[in-house]
A and B are shown apart, each in its own frame.
Chain A
């Protein structure tokens, strides 16, 4: 647990007690010494990070006020474009590709005096839940190098947990922030859809994808969210709703807080995970004004098929642009256009990516569409409506983030369905587009972290962060 971490860092830099440059140098040294064993980073931006740090120090020396990120060191999941830097999305298709422009979220981080230190490993195009589908390298859980860090943002979570950075900008389509955050014992938040611009972000499934923070404590996530949130003319799905200062009054939950605990969230859950999560819920319930009620939410059990069928469809469409012509792995001479493009795609894509492309194409074909795709679209509407009904009664929902702690390397790599089933607790909120975060709440007898998930209604990100912070305080 890292209580007070972010506050201390910001205070040290703003007061001049420690320079941003010296902090970056320490991180770089640690990465050099330890990341060989962990494998969090794809690329480290040593020169750029030191230059950004020097700019922060110059501001402090000149007595100027720093931006809200105040010198925090940020790693970035390698699905977010930074001009001139490798943009691999964990795939051989883009292994040597460098982004021609910078994502809005990165521009905002730098504008708020965040220091970008490097890009982190991920499952190929976000397809996976333990980072084993990266085509480029293996990332291990820093807490146990025989275990997975979670996915698809395994590199980001590992970087934060290993102390290679202060916070990480990551991305969550079906749990890709929350799963690795839970497995590595750090904080993570999937914001409400549309809160953060996706301009410059590699897409997995556009109606689900959302950038979000990972950090050592809730304050870190709140500050990073404050920096990156807001409408962007370059992403028409961004929300015009007023964004909050997410770090304001963090930890101060409302005088009356109505907490719902869906019974179905514990179905199939590991006993040790359930024990730690229920302990945390009980601790919150003991606080004055908190009303906790268990209830049944049967529609939640259909979240997994709804999620995956729609993600397969959107993903198949998203992958069409990778044809070896415009960027990435290059086409070679072949009999004709189809042969040339097919050869590149076959060579570049991993097994899971191919599975999802094939499934997405199949279920959207005219003769099969109604049986699968149309059904999933209508079911998504029903689930979204159900969530709205639930949040009319409860302020937040609590439950385990993942049904188990981190599994051993390779344990689920050969069974795609087992991998999908691990997402059962994270995908429901993505289907509805609402927000959810995770904080560590204990550990198993094998000393692996357990995460508790806090879900909130549309645009309730500030409240979710407050509850996350309150839980952090209670379980330390």
Chain B
């Protein structure tokens, strides 16, 4: 992973890294990836296993249940106005 790639990845992850931190992380990340490149020794076959359970998109019963958590969740908002979460401006 070179500097430019690390910078791009950091932007994707929304992590603001300082120059010293970037330099240290690049050494760590490359050392880790180098060790884990032994994955290439495995013969590629079989399916891509995302879940260890066979079920997926399991529906639940269509039963209405009380949900009184909205107010508790709103209490966690960093900034709240008229019951709505406020976010930093995008434009």
Interface centre among B45, B51, B53, B77, by most chain A C-beta atoms within 10 angstroms, is B53
The interface residues of chain A lying within 8 Å CB-to-CB of B48 are 374, 377-378, 381
The binding surface of chain A is classed by DSSP as helix
Least CB separation from B12: chain A residue: A361
Residue contact A101 to B1, C-beta cutoff 8 Å: no
B3 CB to closest chain A CB (Å) equals 13
Residue contact B49 to A101, C-beta cutoff 8 Å: no
B64: Cβ under 8 A from any A Cβ: no
Least CB separation from B33: chain A residue: A359
Q: How many residues of A contact B (CB 8 A)?
A: 65
B82: Cβ under 8 A from any A Cβ: no
A391: Cβ under 8 A from any B Cβ: no
Alpha-carbon gap, A327 to B76, bound state (A): 5
The tally of CB-CB contacts under 8 A between chains A and B is 165
The interface residues of chain B lying within 8 Å CB-to-CB of A233 are 60-61
The binding surface of chain B is classed by DSSP as loop
Alpha-carbon gap, A340 to B16, bound state (A): 10
Residue contact B60 to A337, C-beta cutoff 8 Å: no
Known contacts A325-B78, A345-B14, A416-B28; decide if A377 and B39 are in contact (CB<8 Å). no
A394: Cβ under 8 A from any B Cβ: no
B69: Cβ under 8 A from any A Cβ: yes
Residue contact A341 to B79, C-beta cutoff 8 Å: no
The answer, among B28, B41, B73, B89, for a CB contact under 8 Å with A302, is: B41
Least CB separation from B58: chain A residue: A236
Alpha-carbon gap, A83 to B37, bound state (A): 43
The answer, among A239, A378, A433, for a CB contact under 8 Å with B44, is: A378
Subset of 15 A-B contacts with CB under 8 Å: A100-B69, A236-B57, A327-B73, A328-B76, A336-B89, A336-B91, A342-B15, A346-B16, A357-B15, A359-B33, A361-B12, A378-B48, A381-B46, A382-B46, A385-B46
